[in-house]
Amino acid sequence: MSMSAREKSTAVVAVDTGGTFTDLLLLTEGRLTPLKVPSTPDDPARAVIDGIRRLIDGAPFFLIHGSTVATNALLEGRGARVVLVTNRGFEDIIEIGRQNRPQLYALVGHRPPPLVAREDRIGIRGRLGPTGEEIEPLDEDELRALPAQTSHAESIAICLLHSYANPEHELAAARALQARGLRLSVSSRLLPEYREYERVSTTVVNAYVAPLVARYLGRLQAAAGAERIRVMGSNGGAFPISRAIAEPVHTVLSGPAGGVVGALAVARRAGIQSVISFDMGGTSTDVSLCPGGPLHTREFTIAGQPVAVPVIDIHTVGAGGGSIARVDPGGALRVGPRSAGADPGPICYARGGTQLTVTDAHVWLGRIPVDAFLGGAVPLDRNAIQGPLERLARRLDATPEQAAEGILAVANTAMEGALRVISVERGYDPADFTIVAFGGAAPLHVAELAARLGASRALVPPHPGLLSAYGMLAADVSREVSRTVLICGDDAGRQAVAEIFRHLDEDAVGKMAEEGCNPAALTIHRFVDVRYRGQSFELRISADRWIERFHEAHRERYGYARSDRPVEAVTLRSLAVAPGPRLEAEPLPDADRAPPLEPTVVHVGDAEVEAERVWRSELRAGHSLEGPALVLEYSATTWVPPAWRLEMDGWGNLLLTLVAIPDPAT
């Protein structure tokens, strides 16, 4: 696919770091150049820098990066030692939490330990009221003692009561600690919103990952050679590297958010509005429901830690191409969540892997041809799979082919569950959506998963294995500024809301200008978190006619509205958006001849069947294939099962359609 942008003189490189591969996409002179290199888990920056050097030969370029450093630090529990400074008597709020039970039916529930040990929580005197009034002043002697009390800290989190209404106490504590030269995470700067536990947790998570992210991005900034670096945010917008270093909590869903943005971009170009994004990589699968646009949430938890920053609503399961298959003590076949990752990787990669993976099962069944991986540049070793697969098959009392089919079936079940969580369990019919499949492994599974869900349409975009990187290219630059207000929705309250919004807009525009954005190019979106007075939850509503819209949204969500109840604006949000690079696709030429098909053999059910394979680069608009068939390309392989038809549209997308009810025997 040929692309063009407003500015073609400077190259743009988008990088998405995954568990198995690091994906790079170069946009230069209107063309996209893909590159996949093995990730380097011991030093993620090494793969990024090596890939950039292979793509860029000293030419100037901009870098847009989706980082997993913060995510992995939380999942693996290897962040910094954090000291929490809070109000005296509230040191244990991070441990008490909301007192909810994560395991409803467990006799003894388990919660992950807090990120800050009890001895690392410092309570100080001083208290503010809910409107920001000072109830008790800070103790100057305590402030002077803070540097010595935090001498063992690697990072510091400061979160005091009601700092969303008045940040002065937090800022005084921050000034007292500045001489320590450590990363300071201050809640009134990071999340000036009420709900104490979520604000504390978010601030602590930011402090926990900040030193690691700062070292990683600092090295990348020094070694990559980019003129400018932006980082993909969890809300689907990019922001400068300086903010990513200061507020790394906004990057915990960096890569998956890029995938959702990319899926929506290619779907809208094809005239499709409602999609389910299905991103299956080497380690995990990320799915997101997009009924006309991405859904956002602030009720997000990672590694058991609540994070109250805006993120795209993404559900993740541990099923990927590198997920390891095993037989559990009860004799059942299990797949994932452990992954072979990039090192050593699946057995067929011939890098020392000894444990069977989903990718190995595909190779054994012929769905990933050994001569087509990464465009044929890296041959796969099918013979190495035979011994481990036969041993697994004997434990299952099955043939090797049945064992391989079983691995895929178990992985499909896990992914089907994830897709149902975001669709059926929320009242949406998957049949009303098109599943956009991307990531290196998703095109191999999407047709069978769509059939399981009762859907009949799927779309595989160009460069599916690099769509997250493409989404980073297409992402807007954004900055949200928020403030908790707790204002009644009467006439006086509406006027107060309008006045506060003016200040928030100015703040958002000013911060975007500081980050290098042209204020004249910005679009401002206003939102209000609204509830009926007395409720403990809110709905996010567009600020235009927010009271009327709230009643309508409440009725749609919960089946009723109470127009006789007072309405309360809880938190106001101004979102400033600067458009990202405008990517324009050039339509493919219409097909003027049949595509050059090659015969191949694929195992389906209990039999080997004759199929056809074709390189995607040989397909033109209007070309179609009947399953069983394989479409080969650099970053992925698309499997078209029996009873499915594939057609290439004018934008280079592969459109899969279910044309018959599949035979249960197959």
pTM, 2 dp: 0.89
Domain boundary among 363, 382, 402: 402
Q: Is 184 in the same domain as 91?
A: yes
The answer to whether position 289 is within a domain reads no
Is 662's pLDDT higher than 70? no
Dump pLDDT digits (tens) for 480-516.
999 999 999 988 999 999 999 999 999 999 999 988 8
List the CATH number of the domain containing 7: 3.30.420.10
The answer to whether position 182 is within a domain reads yes
What pLDDT does residue 661 have? 63
The answer to whether position 567 is within a domain reads yes
Find the domain containing 498 and state its range: 481-575
pLDDT bracket for residue 9 (50, 70, 90): low
Q: Is 515 in the same domain as 564?
A: yes
What pLDDT does residue 663 have? 56
Q: Give backbone dihedrals phi and psi of 576, rounded to 5 degrees, phi first.
A: -95, 130
Domain boundary among 352, 369, 402: 402
Q: Is 88 in the same domain as 67?
A: no
Contact 256, 281 (CB under 8 A): no
* Rounded Cα–Cα distance for residues 422 and 276 (Å): 9
The answer to whether position 334 is within a domain reads yes
The answer to whether position 151 is within a domain reads yes
Q: Is 142 in the same domain as 230?
A: no
The predicted model gives 66-82 an average pLDDT of 88
What pLDDT does residue 7 have? 43
Dump pLDDT digits (tens) for 621-661.
999 999 899 999 999 999 999 999 999 999 999 999 998 76
DSSP string, 50-117: HHHHHH-SS--EEEEEE--HHHHHHHHT----EEEEEETT-TTHHHHTT---SSTT-SS---PPPSS-
Contact 280, 439 (CB under 8 A): yes
Omega of the bond leading into 113 within 30 degrees of 0 (cis): no
Q: Is 93 in the same domain as 189?
A: yes
Dump pLDDT digits (tens) for 130-150.
989 999 999 999 999 999 999
What pLDDT does residue 1 have? 37
CA dihedral angle for residue 503, residue 509, residue 512, residue 517, rounded to 10 degrees: -170
The predicted model gives 609-616 an average pLDDT of 95
pLDDT bracket for residue 32 (50, 70, 90): confident
Q: Is 176 in the same domain as 246?
A: no
What pLDDT does residue 133 have? 95
Q: Is 8 in the same domain as 50?
A: yes
The answer to whether position 587 is within a domain reads no
Sign of CA dihedral 153, 156, 157, 159: positive
Longest dimension (CA), the chain: 84
Tell me the percentage of the chain whose pLDDT exceeds 90: 72
The predicted model gives 552-559 an average pLDDT of 91
Q: Is 69 in the same domain as 152?
A: no
Q: Is 109 in the same domain as 179?
A: yes
Q: Is 410 helix (H, G, I), strand (E, B) or coil?
A: helix
Closest-CA residue to 463 (of 502, 433, 436, 486) = 436
The answer to whether position 455 is within a domain reads no
What pLDDT does residue 2 have? 35
Average pLDDT, the chain: 91
Is 58's pLDDT higher than 80? no
What pLDDT does residue 501 have? 96
**Number of domains making up the chain:** 4
What pLDDT does residue 563 have? 86
Q: Is 562 in the same domain as 536?
A: yes
Is 6's pLDDT higher than 70? no
Is 666's pLDDT higher than 70? no
The answer to whether position 408 is within a domain reads no
Dump pLDDT digits (tens) for 171-218.
999 999 998 889 999 999 999 998 999 999 999 999 999 999 999 999
The predicted model gives 157-181 an average pLDDT of 94
Q: End-to-end CA distance of the chain, in Å?
A: 35
Q: Is 133 in the same domain as 168?
A: yes
Is 5's pLDDT higher than 60? no
The predicted model gives 608-632 an average pLDDT of 95
Q: Is 84 in the same domain as 193?
A: yes
Domain boundary among 189, 224, 251: 251
Q: What percentage of the chain's residues is helix, strand, coil (to nearest 5)? A: 35, 30, 35
Q: How far is CA 413 from CA 319, 328, 386, 428, 453, in A?
A: 10, 17, 25, 19, 11
